[in-house]
Structure 1
Amino acid sequence: MADELLIAKNLFVRFVEACVVLLVAIAFLALTGQSVTPRVIDSAVAVEYRTTAPLDLQSAWGEAETLGLVDLPHLQTDAWLRWSPARDLPRDRPLAVQMGGPFSADVYFNGVLIGSKGVPGPTPDHEQAGEIDGLFAIPSGLIGEEGNWVMLHYSSHHAGYQPAIVFQTLSILPYRDDARRPLRYYAPIILVAGALAGLILLAAHLSRARKFPVGQWLIIALTGLLIAGGAEISRALINYPYDWHQPRQAIQLTGFFVFGAGLLRHGLLRWSASVKVLHLVFWGAILLAAIGVSASSGYDARSSNTIGILVGAAGLWSVWTGVRTDRLALLLALPLVAIAVYSQISPGDLLDRGAYLLASILFGHALLRHDFVLVPLPVEAAKPKTLAVTETGRTRFLPIDAILFLKAAGNYTEIHSVNDAVTLDGRGLSQVLNHLPETFQRVHRSWAVNLDAVEALHSHEGSRYEVSLTVGRQIPVGRKHVRTLRARL
């Protein structure tokens, strides 16, 4: 009863530790998300939209319809939109129009062209794909006291896929000299990249040392996350043409898929069940993830669905196993369920930064504080209790604990047991030793002893050695065996 209470107490302490680590990670994400996001003066929520060019850039748009940015149709031709800031713009500092997404555009402020993001056009041949992110300074003389507006002539023929939203950002903010996303926004990915690589090496070391091949799935999962992080951070390093956006996001989606599938496979094999159940859960989750990917138009939605389904399935498997058989599985369930839930609550932040930070902290805590949950300790094989001795016409079974030493006798072996019993085995000394546990050590070309029966190791003149057994028998030791024997003793 006392042992059970101690086990339950240790499990509870580890669970509380994991909860605290999770809360710290989420708090860090919330605080850094606020501090690294550029301060926006005003963002477009609804815009006036039309597919034909206005007759006069300064005139009112009588034929325009008002749409939200998420409701803008995917273009088969070029289009126009106009947006009036909801608040008065400050005139005491330099301002800029910021935009990002898979489109090309000419940007106008109060009817004056202030910059271009590629070259928009009615057909793919006429359009030149612009950079994924754009930032255009607003001349201070153009800013009025009220009634300011931004107009875009834009097209999107080279995305290569159906974006869920064409305009990822469209806002006015204080001017800065770099259109790319701030590198500090990706600080969690940069900081944890080395941590993830270290966790991969640690998982590989533990899996090899403990002879746990299932650990390779954990290694594959963390490697997939590292690949996804590299694809994500590339947006802060290179302001690439927007037609590169699809392959970049496809690489990221692949990394997240490998991450989720690897974790699920690791959990299924770590806490195994019947083959039918394992196949049903694994391939069922893969099928649901594939449906989630095909049912979504944008890559962010595809990636968040993939993580939510695959990592969520791994978390539910850990919960189910923890309730039924192994309470330790609940410790792994916490980070998995947390990542899956976060993918649906804040998918953008999870894909940009959160997945990497949460995974590195939570799995790092698991590998450093209770690694036996992810990579279990090896189970020692049961030692044989008897030795089958081959004699003429029959086989005898000798208790191994009763054997003191062995002596080679030509092609045979003499097995000496307690009470001076001697049994002749029809095999050579090396063959007999192969059937005995590691407590039996060869000490001479013709002798082997049970280390549990050794009392002392003696050295004599002329570099001669021998061991004395607890029963008073002296056994010679060859010089080349002395070092190994001394180390074993």
Structure 2
Amino acid sequence: MNNSQAMTKRSMSIWQFTLLISAAYIIGLVISHQSTVMETVYWSGYELEEIDANGNWVESNRMRIGVDAGIQEVRFRVQVDDAPHWQRPIGLMLGGPFSAQVFWDEQMVLEKGTIGDSKATELAGSIDAITFIPPTLLHPGEHHIRLLISTQHLLLHDDSVFHYIWLTPYRESGRRDMRYYAAPLIILSALLILSLQSFRIGRNAGNQMHIGLGIYGFSIIVLLCSEVSRSLINYSYPYHELRGIFAWLSNISAGAALIYTCYQINKTRLSKGILLAGVAVLFSSYFFPMNSGDERLALDFTLLALAPAVVFLLALVRKHISYLITLPIFWLSCVASNLIDTGLFLDSYHFIASLILIAGAWLWVYVDFRVAAEEQPMPQGCREFQLTTPQGSRNIAVSECYALKGEGNYTSLLLLDGSSALHQDGLGIIMDSAPINFVRVHKSYAINTTAIVNLKSAPGSKYWAEMTNGENVPVSRYRVAELRSILAEDKS
């Protein structure tokens, strides 16, 4: 084996790649669950009371607020002490799909929409609201916050209507702080680029895995945008249900994209049965009530992703190696995030894990398939490149190409007539097939030595090969000596 062939070998074994991907998911868990920027909250209402049938205040549960249409009266107790933060401007923040009147020690401080006995008499309030609490109301001691809550405009009532009630540093807007969505916003641009590139190359090369990952990425982008919209627009609460519908549809679409990808790659009877069973389990889960819409979203996704994870786990056991054998790791990390905190899983980790899943497909090109090569040897002295496209197969003679250019997991065949074609395999895999007269001259290029006119150089250790059609191909300074030796042998 010459130096060029040795250099085309991948830099990682499958197990090294698996460890790298696992580490990325673990780091993502730490980032999303330990570093997410939360609101500064001096008090948050969890324990509350409601009026019973006899008119007495009794202990209640936040999950029972707003479940039924109508006006509901609840009360929270707040203990104010001599801490310095109570001397600063304090705001009371209230969030959830309902209208409300809020009273502090029986003095009304906030009206979130207008409550009403019916849908016609209620004015839907904004999803989030804030009001300034005058310092005269914040004297040390126990205080009561009483709320009248109305949910007449809700189409679907669940157990997560009451999102939060906080005492925080006062600010002008009631919208959720954009810092809370810092991680999702940072990865949005990367998701857009990787998803578009995966889908484009997948379509051009007929690669079902990248088509599926592209569709998956688009679904996650819609989910991310629907989630972040709450920080951009403080819409009235009925639109929160529309936002929830978009989130649910995109969440289901993301899981379906994984199932589609699995089906396209593993069209065995066993894999079809597992995928159908996974869909059946999802439908069955809707017969069991959930505590909140967030729990439903998280469960839907993990159930949809479970069947593809099982399929590729079985493929790994059978030594059918592909990038998607990492799906079980992806699924386990999502389950772990959901168990730690469902809210942070949906708001942050879901997006980070999705980015790792799509980006990992581009790193797969660096994995060493020596074991697979022993079982299925690559042909030697390849004279034709076989392309797979959505329109069918196409063969291009090696002699018609003057260079190969690596494009991530794919390769552009640069033809002597000035055109190009996209090959479904990476540059390293193609070079493993030993195409006649081709030599690796750069991390991204291999050239046909019979098409070289001259080898040129410039100051700064820059080199390039001039080809018979007038094109120039860059040559690494580490490959120049070997290329000169090959050209000298050809002339002799």
Task: Say whether the fold is shared (TM-score over 0.5).
Answer: yes
- Secondary structure in 2 matching 1:153: strand
- Secondary structure in 1 matching 2:308: helix
TM-score (norm 2): 0.69
- Look up the match of 2:293: 299
Quick one: distance in 2 between partners of 1:100 and 1:322? 46
- Secondary structure in 2 matching 1:136: strand
Q: Which has the larger radius of gyration?
A: 1
Q: Is the 8 A contact 1:29 1:354 kept in 2?
A: yes
TM-score (norm 1): 0.70
Q: CA deviation at 1:345?
A: 3.5
Opposite residue 397 of structure 2, the aligned amino acid is: E
Report whether the alignment pairs 1:32 with 2:35.
yes
Q: Is the 8 A contact 2:33 2:344 kept in 1?
A: no
Opposite residue 291 of structure 1, the aligned amino acid is: S
Alignment RMSD (CA, Å): 3.6
Report whether the alignment pairs 1:258 with 2:253.
yes
Match of 1:109 among 104, 108, 132: 104
- Secondary structure in 1 matching 2:69: coil
1:349-395, Cα deviation, whole Å (9 max, x unpaired): 1111221122113431332354889xx99x99989x9xxxxxxxxxx
1:130-186, Cα deviation, whole Å (9 max, x unpaired): 011111111111123212111111111112112222211012222122211111111
Q: Where does structure 2 lack aligned partners over 5 or more consecutive residues?
A: 1-5, 384-393, 401-435, 438-449, 452-467, 474-489
Q: 1:349 to 1:294 in 2, by over 3 A?
A: farther
- Secondary structure in 2 matching 1:181: coil
* Higher mean C-alpha deviation, range 7-16 or range 180-189: 7-16
- Look up the match of 2:71: 78
1:254-284, Cα deviation, whole Å (9 max, x unpaired): 11111111112213332x142x334322232
Q: 1:371 to 1:226 in 2, by over 3 A?
A: farther
- Look up the match of 1:233: 228
Match of 1:335 among 325, 330, 333: 330
Match of 1:64 among 57, 67, 71: 57
Q: 1:345 to 1:285 in 2, by over 3 A?
A: farther
Q: 1:361 to 1:116 in 2, by over 3 A?
A: same
1:227-376 superposed matches below 5 A: 227-270=222-265, 272-274=266-268, 276-293=269-286, 295-296=288-289, 298-328=292-322, 329-370=324-365
1:211-266, Cα deviation, whole Å (9 max, x unpaired): 32453222111111011111111000001101111110110111111111111221
1:393-408 superposed matches below 5 A: none
Opposite residue 152 of structure 2, the aligned amino acid is: H
* Higher mean C-alpha deviation, range 143-152 or range 84-93: 84-93
Q: CA deviation at 1:437?
A: 8.2
Q: CA deviation at 1:113?
A: 0.5
Q: CA deviation at 1:290?
A: 3.0
Q: 1:371 to 1:126 in 2, by over 3 A?
A: farther
- Look up the match of 1:177: 172
Quick one: distance in 1 between partners of 2:12 and 2:469? 45
- Look up the match of 1:100: 95
- Look up the match of 2:19: 16
1:313-343, Cα deviation, whole Å (9 max, x unpaired): 2222222211223254543432233124423
Report whether the alignment pairs 1:438 with 2:397.
yes
Match of 1:122 among 97, 117, 125: 117
Opposite residue 279 of structure 2, the aligned amino acid is: I
- Secondary structure in 2 matching 1:147: strand
Q: 1:146 to 1:178 in 2, by over 3 A?
A: same
- Secondary structure in 1 matching 2:78: coil
Q: Is the 8 A contact 2:39 2:180 kept in 1?
A: no
Match of 1:132 among 110, 124, 127: 127
Quick one: distance in 2 between partners of 1:86 and 1:195? 45
Q: Is the 8 A contact 1:51 1:78 kept in 2?
A: no
* Higher mean C-alpha deviation, range 364-373 or range 203-212: 364-373
- Secondary structure in 2 matching 1:160: coil
Q: 1:440 to 1:233 in 2, by over 3 A?
A: closer
Q: 1:436 to 1:183 in 2, by over 3 A?
A: closer
- Secondary structure in 2 matching 1:84: strand
- Secondary structure in 2 matching 1:354: helix
Greater relative contact order (CA < 8 Å, ≥ 6 in sequence): 2
Opposite residue 70 of structure 1, the aligned amino acid is: M
The number of residues matched between the two structures is 383
Report whether the alignment pairs 1:88 with 2:81.
yes
Quick one: distance in 2 between partners of 1:118 and 1:89? 33
- Secondary structure in 2 matching 1:131: coil
Q: Is the 8 A contact 2:216 2:258 kept in 1?
A: yes
Q: Is the 8 A contact 1:95 1:173 kept in 2?
A: yes
- Secondary structure in 1 matching 2:63: helix
Quick one: distance in 1 between partners of 2:395 and 2:134? 88
Q: Is the 8 A contact 1:261 1:286 kept in 2?
A: no
Q: CA deviation at 1:31?
A: 3.3
1:442-483, Cα deviation, whole Å (9 max, x unpaired): xxxxxxxxx99xxx99xxxxxxxxxxxxxxxxxxxxxxxx96
Quick one: distance in 1 between partners of 2:367 and 2:262? 13
- Look up the match of 1:45: 46
Opposite residue 50 of structure 1, the aligned amino acid is: I
Opposite residue 280 of structure 2, the aligned amino acid is: L
1:56-97, Cα deviation, whole Å (9 max, x unpaired): xxxxx9612210212336133212111112553754112122
Quick one: distance in 1 between partners of 2:206 and 2:238? 46
Q: CA deviation at 1:30?
A: 2.5
* Higher mean C-alpha deviation, range 145-154 or range 358-367: 358-367
Q: CA deviation at 1:197?
A: 1.1
- Look up the match of 2:207: 212
- Secondary structure in 1 matching 2:331: helix
Q: Is the 8 A contact 1:250 1:299 kept in 2?
A: no
Opposite residue 100 of structure 2, the aligned amino acid is: A
Quick one: distance in 1 between partners of 2:68 and 2:82? 31
Q: CA deviation at 1:107?
A: 0.7
Opposite residue 10 of structure 1, the aligned amino acid is: S
Q: 1:365 to 1:381 in 2, by over 3 A?
A: closer
Opposite residue 46 of structure 1, the aligned amino acid is: E
Quick one: distance in 2 between partners of 1:437 and 1:156? 66
1:396-475 superposed matches below 5 A: 438=397
Q: Is the 8 A contact 1:77 1:155 kept in 2?
A: yes
Q: CA deviation at 1:194?
A: 1.0
